[in-house]
Amino acid sequence: MVENQIRNTQQPSRAAEIVPAIDLKGVSKSFGPVQANKDINLTVKRNSIHGIVGENGAGKSTLMSILYGFYKADAGDIFVHGKKVQIKDSSHALDLGIGMVHQHFMLVENFTVLENIILGAEGDPLLAASKAAAREELARLAKDYGLNVDPDAIIEDLSVGQEQRVEILKALYRGADVLILDEPTGVLTPTEADQLFRILEQLRDEGKTIILITHKLREIMAITDTVSVMRRGTMVGTVATKDTSPDKLAEMMVGRHVLLKVEKTAAQPGEKVLEVDGLSVTDDIGVPRVKNVSFDVRAGEIVGIAGVAGNGQSQLLEAISGMFNPLLGEIRINGKKIKFDGDGVADEVRRMGLAHVPEDRHKMGLVTTFEEWENSMLGYDDDQKFGNGPFLSVKAAREDAIKRIEMFDIRPQNPRLKTANFSGGNQQKIVLAREMDRDLDILIVGQPTRGVDIGAIEFIHKQIIKLRDEGKAVLLVSVELDEVRSLSDRVLVMFDGEIVTELAPTASEKEFGLAMAGLDPAQQ
């Protein structure tokens, strides 16, 4: 409170001090068999930044979706600025000044920014007027908060960072004074994240109230005033940020002690496993994405690729894993060249000893409508152990799946459950279990912990290190700079399709910052 006042530029009214912006009492919600929220109480002070943390599937998104009127609570009361309300639907929530930036963005991909902004808030039946109005308002917001995006850009062409700005602008355009952000930084680079936080603080200082869901305790500690912890659909507790620490929070979340920093010994690199030579990749629409990239990864080392999202990492991964034919250059695994002919050499590449954990599990790594055991053999179904000849041995496959479920502690422990019904964290584990637990020579991993809670992060990091210590080669791509630095033995920084430099993980934030901006620190 005290520091609030110090920090606040404008003095909040007395009323605001006592009347909380949001007050949830005994809120419960269940989806069929799944009880997502059990009797939740939550109080959010006016013009404060309130953090919410919790494991995957803890019920954070659901609780916020209820507050935003997207879902209806089965029980419980909602008070907004002290007034008891029955939030009928999202438009009602918006009228009450509650805006939400969803975890999975709610944008129409082939619309312009402007169209997305006005959608649902058009005003009169013809668009012309409202569009003009929106333009001005956007200009104003851009000026006030440095939230600038080209109003006529098509969403598809924007980076995730920009997409998120659009989401925030949507909320502000609708005059939200309570702003909910669900895992906003999951997809952002450190720089983007910092920009976002500056904006959030500015909003708070102007009297808005912000609820921030995140899996990253660093962020919680950095900008929240208060933090609430959820576990398995219940509210474990709410504390003032200044009175707590990452380890305490982690323990509250998971219910046990967790190591937050990765412990690893020095690497003993062996001979080259993966060699990339003058690789250039051009995407379907002819845009060059990877430009003459060369590097190699040795047995027993983890090579990290740092960089802002959208600088060619994805295309690099796709080329190496045989999913996409590169334009020029060659890739060798254990000295054997990958022959790109026709569509889908990914299976051959796998047989050469490469395992691939894709960046986006929902889009690529999993068929969410399949049962868990089916996903646990995706890409390896031709293996002898899954049945000989053309036939598939369901029995063998399920036994194999159970083995992996136990080894990677995937929950619920049911190979017959539809994959969509696993939480994101567990979905990620299914992919890791499939790719890591086999005799591979090199593992390439994209965004291994995106959207995954710390309990799972700790586990995943351990597994990657273990693999390295068994003398496997690992290529790690992540937009989480911390992650890259703490896991890798060498770090390559990628910018605009090129590898600008190689840095030691111990290099300073500043050096990385420069490199990721495309400037080789060596030359500075």
Partner 1 sequence: MGIEDIIPLLNSSVRFAVPLLLACLAGLYSERSGIVDIGLEGKMLGAAFAAAAVAALSGNVWYGMLAAIFVSVCMSMIHAIASINLRGNQVISGVALNFLALGGTVFIGHSIFKRGGTTPNLSKDERIGPIDLPFAAEIGQVPVIGPIYEQLISGHSIIVYFAFAAVPITAWVLMKTRFGLRLRAVGENPKALDTAGISVFLLRYQALIITGVLCGVAGAYLSTSQGANFSENMTAGRGFIALAALIFAKWKPWNALWTCLLFGVLSAAQIRLQGVEFPLIGEVPVQFIQALPYVLTVVLLAGFIGRAVPPKAVGQPYVKER
Partner 2 sequence: MSARQPLPSWALNVLMPAMNVLLALIVGGLAVAMIGENPIQAMQVLAYGAFGSGYGLGFTLHYATSLTFTGLAVAVAFHSGLFNIGGEGQAYVAGLGAIMMALWLDHTHWVFVLVGATVGAMTLGALWAAIPGYLQAKRGSHIVITTIMFNFIASALMSYMLAQVITNPGSNAETRTIAETGRIPLLSEYFEFFKHSPVNIMLFFGVVALIGVYILLWRTKLGFKIRTLGQNPEAARYAGISAVSIIVIAMAISGALAGMMAVNEAVSVQKRLVVGYVQGFGFIGIAVAFMGRAHPVGIVLAAILFGALYQGGSELAFVMPAVPSELVVVIQALVILFSGAMDEMFKPVLERVFGAFRSKPQADKAAEIEEA
Ligand X SMILES: Nc1ncnc2c1ncn2[C@@H]1O[C@H](COP(=O)(O)OP(=O)(O)OP(=O)(O)O)[C@@H](O)[C@H]1O
Which residues bind to partner 1, rule: CB under 8 A?
Answer: 31-32, 68-71, 89-94, 100, 102, 106-111, 115-116, 118-122, 124-128, 130, 170, 420
d(CA 476, CA 448): 8
Helices 424-436, 394-407: inter-axial angle, 10-degree rounding: 110
Q: Tell me: does residue 387 bind partner 2 (CB under 8 A).
A: yes
How would you list the strands of the sheet with 288-298, edge to edge?
288-298, 272-282, 328-333, 336-337
d(CA 184, CA 300): 35
- Provide the Cα torsion 393, 396, 398, 399; round to 10°: 170
Report the residue number, 136 or 284, with the smaller CB distance to partner 1: 284
208 binds, among Mg ion, partner 1, ligand X, none (CB under 5 to 8 A by kind): none
Site for ligand X in 399-428 (CB under 6 A): 420-425
Among 37, 47, 48, 61, binds Mg ion (CB under 5 A): 61
382 binds, among partner 2, partner 1, Mg ion, none (CB under 5 to 8 A by kind): partner 2
Q: What sign does the CA torsion over 454, 455, 457, 461 have?
A: positive
Which residue in 298, 297, 301, 295 sits closest to 279, CA to CA?
A: 295
Q: Tell me: does residue 115 bind partner 2 (CB under 8 A).
A: no
What are the Cα distances from residue 191, in Å, to 117, 194, 455, 513?
Answer: 25, 5, 25, 8
Report the residue number, 31 or 510, with the smaller CB distance to ligand X: 31
Q: Do the Cβ atoms of 73 and 28 come closer than 8 Å?
A: yes
Q: Which stretch binds partner 2 (CB under 8 A): 262-270, 344-352, 455-463, 501-509?
A: 344-352
Among 304, 312, 358, 446, binds partner 2 (CB under 8 A): 358
Q: Do the Cβ atoms of 306 and 491 come closer than 8 Å?
A: yes
Among 416, 469, 504, 510, binds partner 2 (CB under 8 A): 416
Site for ligand X in 96-135 (CB under 6 A): 103
Give the per-residue contact string, 295-334, with ligand X (x = CB under 6 A; - = no): ----------------------------------------
- Strand pairing report for 22-31 and 75-80: antiparallel
DSSP characters for 433-483? HHHHSS--SEEEEESTTTT--HHHHHHHHHHHHHHHHTT-EEEEE-S-HHH
Give the per-residue contact string, 60-99, with partner 2 (x = CB under 8 A; - = no): --------------x-------------------------
Query: Prior bond to 448 cis, omega within 30?
Result: no
Among 207, 379, 513, 521, binds partner 2 (CB under 8 A): 379
Among 69, 424, 448, 455, binds Mg ion (CB under 5 A): 424
Q: Do the Cβ atoms of 474 and 494 come closer than 8 Å?
A: no
Site for ligand X in 20-59 (CB under 6 A): 31, 34, 36, 54, 56-59
Report the residue number, 103 or 162, with the smaller CB distance to ligand X: 103
Cα first-last separation, the chain: 44
Question: Minimal distance in Å, beta carbon 321 to partner 2?
Answer: 8
- Strand pairing report for 328-333 and 272-282: antiparallel
SS3 call for 161: helix
- Provide the Cα torsion 229, 220, 479, 156; round to 10°: 80
156 binds, among Mg ion, partner 2, ligand X, none (CB under 5 to 8 A by kind): none
Report the residue number, 33 or 335, with the smaller CB distance to partner 2: 33
Q: Tell me: does residue 501 bind Mg ion (CB under 5 A).
A: no
59 binds, among partner 1, ligand X, Mg ion, none (CB under 5 to 8 A by kind): ligand X
Among 48, 61, 244, 463, binds ligand X (CB under 6 A): 61
d(CA 175, CA 478): 35
Would you tell me which residues interact with ligand X (CB under 6 A)? 31, 34, 36, 54, 56-62, 103, 420-425, 451
Q: Residues in the site for Mg ion, rule: CB under 5 A?
A: 61, 103, 424, 451
User: Which positions lie near partner 2, rule CB under 8 A?
Assistant: 30, 32-33, 74, 321-323, 342-350, 356, 358, 363-370, 374, 378-379, 381-382, 386-387, 390-392, 394, 414, 416-418, 421
